[in-house]
Amino acid sequence: MLVVGGEPEPLHSFKNLFTIGKMIEMPIDFSQKMENETFMTNGLFTYYSENQFKYVSHDQSIYFNQDTVWTQNHQTHQIIIDQLMQGEFTFFSILSGQFDGIDFESPILEKGIFNFGYYISDWDVRGKLILYSDGHPKTITIQGSDDQSILISIGEIRHSSIEPFNAPYAGTWEVIDLRE
């Protein structure tokens, strides 16, 4: 297997998707299992830069700007504003090619698709990052405890010109600011 900069080529190519200076859009199907309940949604993940990205679905919108997160619940008309801790992990970290604190296993290659197992020791979380040979993502799984898991299926990536990043909201929505 070709190795670039100490990483297997598909993993290196995946990380490079986010350094070309164009906005990246990824349609994603998201499924989260907690105990005996499953939550499913689909939406669009848009990457602007390492510190600016958003996820928009029918139910909610999540905006990341630097260390601030806005979560807009479209059903309850609530906006929750919170601040991330330095180096805090979210599944968006993996989705946007930010791998600090993630230990990858050697990939398993099957039918031109690379299956990278990984472990995040700070969170005691395991998962899989499945990439096509060109580095485009197919699936991300995150396995916490036996009764908690996340599955993210990624559609075709689109590149486009950068549009302004903003987190719009209606002034009539309830705003809950959790920042200290």
In the chain, % of residues over pLDDT 90: 53
pLDDT tens figures, 7-57? 668 998 998 888 877 889 999 999 999 988 999 999 999 998 888 899 999
Q: By the 8 A CB rule, do 55 and 92 touch?
A: yes
What mean pLDDT is predicted for residues 153-179?
83
What mean pLDDT is predicted for residues 67-78?
92
What mean pLDDT is predicted for residues 157-169?
77
Mean pLDDT of the chain, nearest integer: 87
Token output for 21: 């200076």
pTM over 0.95: no
- Domains, the chain, with CATH or none: 3-161 (2.50.20.10)
**Based on the number of CB atoms within 10 Å of its own CB, is 107 exposed (0-12), middle (13-18) or buried (19 or more)?**
buried
Question: What pLDDT does 91 receive?
Answer: 79
Q: By the 8 A CB rule, do 123 and 129 touch?
A: no
Give the least confident one: 17-21, 93-97, 107-111, 164-168.
164-168
Read off the pLDDT band of 154 (50, 70, 90): very high
